[in-house]
Amino acid sequence: MNEALSAALALFLDPSRLSMMLLGVAVGLVVGVLPGMGGIVSVAILLPFITRLDPAASLAMITGSLAVVHTSDTITSVLIGAPGSAAAVPTMIEGHPLARQGQAARALSAAYAASLVGGLIGALGLTLSIPIARPLVLSFGSPELFMLTVLGVSYAGSLLGKEARRGILAGLLGLLLGAVGPAPAAAEVRFAFDQVYLTDGLDLAIVALGLFGVAEVVGLLARGGAVAETTDLGRGWLQGLRDVVQHRWLVLRGALIGMWAGVLPALGATAGTLMAYGHVVSSSRDRSRFGKGDIRGIIAPEAANNAVEAGDLIPTLLFSVPGSAPTAIILGALLAYGIVPGPRIVTDHLDLVYTIVWSFAAANFIGAGIMFAASPVLARAASVPFDRLAPAVLLAMVLASYQETRHFGDILTLLALGLVGYAMKVTGWPRAPMLIGFVLAGPLERYYFLTINLYQHPTDWLLRPGVVVLAALLVAPFAWGAVRAVRERAAGRPPAAAARPGFRPVTLFSLLVLAVFAAAALVAREFLPGAALMPLSVAAVGAVLAAAQLAQELRGRAGFTVDDEGDAALTRPEALRRAAWLLAGLCGYAGSIWLVGMRAASGVWVLGFLLGVARVRPTAALLYTAAALAGAEVLSRVLGVRLPPGALLR
Amino acid sequence: MKRATVLLVLGLLLLAPPGARAQQPYYAGKTIELIVPFGPGGGTDIEARFMAPYFEKHIPGNPRFVIRNMPGGGSILGANWFAQNAKPDGLTLLATSGSTIIPYILGVSQVRYDFAKWKLVKVNGVGGVVYVSPRTGITKAADILRPQVPLVYGGISAVGLDLTTLLLFEVLGMNVRVVMGFEGRGPARLAFERGETTIDYQTTPAYLTQVVPLIREGKAVAVMSMGFVNDRGQMVRDPAAPDLPTPYEVYQTLHNRKPDGLLRWKAYQAAVAASFSYQKAFWAPEGTPDEALRALREAIDRMKRDPAFRQEAQKILEGYEVFRGDQGEAAVHRSMRITLDVKKYIVDLVTGKYSARL
């Protein structure tokens, strides 16, 4: 083993390998900055190089870009509130408020320090677990994977905020959204309404971008001004580092959760990050700052999402089953070189395995290190008036969405979810549970059906040791929460203040939610039994809860605690009016993309926005527009995306 | 005299039509775009990327050969786009796989493409091997009707590549409990290793690399290959697993007669041919000039003679032969043109026993 390690080190100190790894890191970092792009995109860009390099160099390159997949996506999440990837959503939820409070540097440096350590823990875990990984992974059968996804969903419970009912409803909406597309266990396509685009279901990146990215951008524009109104944003850089040291056990726990999420086929990077986030919230005694900028809500998820990619490598290398889309490409590359993943890879190609591990660790270190050092500088972007940044950010999000399927449906989905996300933001409905529901809907249903069909008697699987342990983990927080609630009631805590009864505009949203569940239930009745179970039960429970919510709101018993002070500002009439115009403008933008194509539409809208809303001088506006369009052109060439030509011109 | 000859020759050269002087290859200075209707990293994509540099090398004129991924709808979106938008100039080609073929054969409503209209550039296939758990007590194909523990099979979807396996179970009269819902054959193989399923199939590349070690450890028993349909429409042994019997032979062993003529045999053979034996194909749209097709198809021949290609092909194509389009086109089109009674049988099976909705 020692010579394998030293062989890897020698390979690694070879300048051509090193430079390929650094190329991978560079591509991964640059691509990751753009909201919605990362991972699969950066690896796809590097694909053409694979056939021209030797195995060790190309593996170093791809692993390099894989390792930093979740490193640079933190930037837009914190500074702009547009999640760089779905896995960056918790960082956005906690980091963006921190940026608004002038602590962007602290948020970024904490995120990168946690990422760095998390990634290194992941690499270490990868090395140590290679000998024992096979039996460990095989011991997780369908029942254990099912319990694990239930556990993941339950962590959403800790993200419900003060009003459990709306959080649960948001989670159920997410489950319903996740049910669009092919049913896992029955040959039926659900909720596609004859649209070919929907037959694959909705894309996670677009859902996250719309629900969180577009909504945040509109919110920032509606509020006006810059992201952070205070000066001296470089402050806090060292504080972030201190935070990570202070919460070092959280880093470890986050990294372990992330690694497991990667190793097991059921979960992925987003699920792992959300679970780490849910874990840190549920295990904290003081939850008051979560959602308003709690540094712990950055540290755990960031450690998790760098460790996830290390975990993903285990099933890829040891079982020839890719753990994620980027690792699927690694698998393809290995096969193209005639290197067969599986139990033999440890004996036949140990040196390449260690090349991958070392590349991963080094890339993590270098990538996070670069980002960490750049945090004070990057944080200054928070002081730029946001309407100068907004057009470029929106254009990037539209482009990122479009390259998912290269279909206009991508843009429509982004817009629709942006509208929903904004409505939820303004009415105080929590969105994080919705994302969890969406991410875990597929695995939850899949492993449920696999479990009950492969194990014909419940006792066959309910009594398995893994299941029992996971069930205990599942029940424990609820039991503890119930005990605590009883104690609180005994101590005589006053109930929440009653609000005014009657119909408010906000109640419209609850009515809409009820309508969605009712409609879904009606449609789901027509599905095949194996496909109907999940959507029907979700819609039924959802309809009942939504009706209760509506009733409580009309009676004035429901409290409307909007979490973020910033969000409260959004409910003022002038902010709402601005937001309405902005959203109408977005619809117009999307419509014009369809009519005249992306280039023409973007040119018109960016220019119009800069002149009309941002009140920029004409020459500057023209330069900006030209630069933005040129950037979009370069990006689309590099990604191999043809920008939509437009119906009129076709 | 000599000067006159020289002048004559020069004069003739000058008067000769420009085209005749130097024939430019059709593809000189051009770029061919191959649409891969799957995401990057999948089997079809990797094979295409592996072949791309050889196309560039061997097509006269050395055009650029680039891949464009268009995933969605299980390859239906990309194939639809190709059918509606690809210009017949030989500069846009489509790569298809079994999951493009099966919805077409089943007549799924979202399919807006017609293989019959396309011209084949190249085709190569892949095989499959069926194996069981030693707990079933099965040691050879003749035992498959009498397993000691129930046969449980993990599948992905009744309207995907599993269709061929389901038809196999029908044709041999096997009693198998089919559990759908796995994400891919990889996770299904893991379930077999965990003991959750007792019968599984893998494509031969995965079989040779991942299952054979299990067999050596006594954790799996190979029973039969899925069989390979040659260009004469006969089922022959899989070249990558030549010591395993084909379902044709297994049927004979079990029932003492040949299955030819049986409706369910015709269905199985059609499914194997379309989705395995001719699985990986490149197509050009209808109306592509003959010159372009010739150049492309001749490149295949040259590729096969290229020693560098042959060495690497062993890893990617796993020893299955690549056929040029004109050699394989008739057989491939024939394999997709299933008769109405066979189609009805398949559709009834899928929508009835396996409760699928098409």
B352 and A CB contact within 8 Å:
no
pLDDT recorded at residue A566: 52
Length, in residues, of chain B: 358
The DSSP output letter for B62 is -
Single-letter amino acid code for the residue at A571: T
Question: Does the structure show a pLDDT above 50 at A136?
Answer: yes
pLDDT recorded at residue A517: 95
Q: How far is B316 from chain A (nearest CA, A)?
A: 6
Confidence band (pLDDT; 50, 70, 90) for B18? very low
Give a yes or no: residue A626 inside a domain: no
Measured CA angle at B60 (ends B58, B66), to 5 deg: 65
Which residues of chain B are in CATH 3.40.190.10 domains?
128-272
Angle between helices B325-336 and B290-305 (to 10 degrees): 110
Q: How far is A43 from chain B (nearest CA, A)?
A: 9
Cβ atoms A306, A67 nearer than 8 A: yes
Which residues of chain B are in CATH 3.40.190.150 domains?
31-125+278-340
pLDDT recorded at residue A501: 57
pLDDT recorded at residue B33: 92
Can you give the C-alpha Rg of chain B in angstroms? 24
Q: Residue B187 and residue A265: Cβ atoms within 8 Å?
A: yes
β-pairing, B176-180 vs B151-155, is parallel
pLDDT recorded at residue B20: 44
Q: Rounded to the nearest 10 degrees, how much is the dihedral formed by the CA atoms of A504, A506, A507, A511?
A: 140
Neighbouring residues of B121: CB distance < 8 A, sequence distance ≥ 6: B93, B281, B282, B283, B284, B293, B296, B297, B300, B324, B325
- Looking at the structure of chain A, the number of domains it has is 1
Give a yes or no: residue A632 inside a domain: no
Report the percent of chain A where pLDDT is more than 70.
90
pLDDT top residue among A145 and A230: A145
Mean pLDDT of A499-507: 63
pLDDT top residue among B42 and A55: A55
Q: Residue A454 and residue B152: Cβ atoms within 8 Å?
A: yes
Confidence band (pLDDT; 50, 70, 90) for B21? very low
pLDDT recorded at residue A72: 85
Q: Within 13 Å of residue B58, how many CA atoms lie on the same side as its CB?
A: 20
Give a yes or no: residue A283 inside a domain: yes
Give a yes or no: residue A510 inside a domain: no
Cβ atoms B154, B182 nearer than 8 A: yes
Neighbouring residues of A352: CB distance < 8 A, sequence distance ≥ 6: A55, A56, A59, A339, A345
Could you say which of B68, B110, B209 has the minimum Cβ distance to residue A196?
B110
Give a yes or no: residue A623 inside a domain: no
Could you say which of A319, A325, A407 has the minimum Cβ distance to residue B41?
A325
Interface test with A, best of B57, B68, B69, B166 (most A CBs within 10 A): B69
pLDDT recorded at residue A67: 86
pLDDT recorded at residue B46: 79
Global pTM value: 0.85
Single-letter amino acid code for the residue at B9: V
Q: How far is B133 from chain A (nearest CA, A)?
A: 15
Domain B31-125+278-340 grouped into CATH 1.10.10.10: no
User: A-B interface: how many C-beta pairs under 8 angstroms?
Assistant: 145
Interface of B with A in 150-209 (CB under 8 A): 152, 154, 157-159, 179-184, 186-187, 189-191, 193-194, 196-197, 205-206, 209
Residues of the domain holding A257: 2-226+234-454+517-565
Give a yes or no: residue A28 inside a domain: yes
Mean pLDDT of A548-573: 69
Distance CA B40, CA B345 (A): 35
| Reported ipTM exceeds the 0.85 cut | no
Query: Per residue in A29-53, pLDDT tens?
Result: 888 887 877 777 787 778 777 767 7
- CATH class as words, domain B128-272: alpha beta
The DSSP output letter for B139 is -
Query: Per residue in B283-317, pLDDT tens?
Result: 999 999 999 999 999 999 999 899 988 887 777 67
Q: Look at the block and give the residue holding tokens 């079933």.
A: B136
First to last CA, chain B: 82
Question: Does the structure show a pLDDT above 90 at B150?
Answer: yes
Length, in residues, of chain A: 650
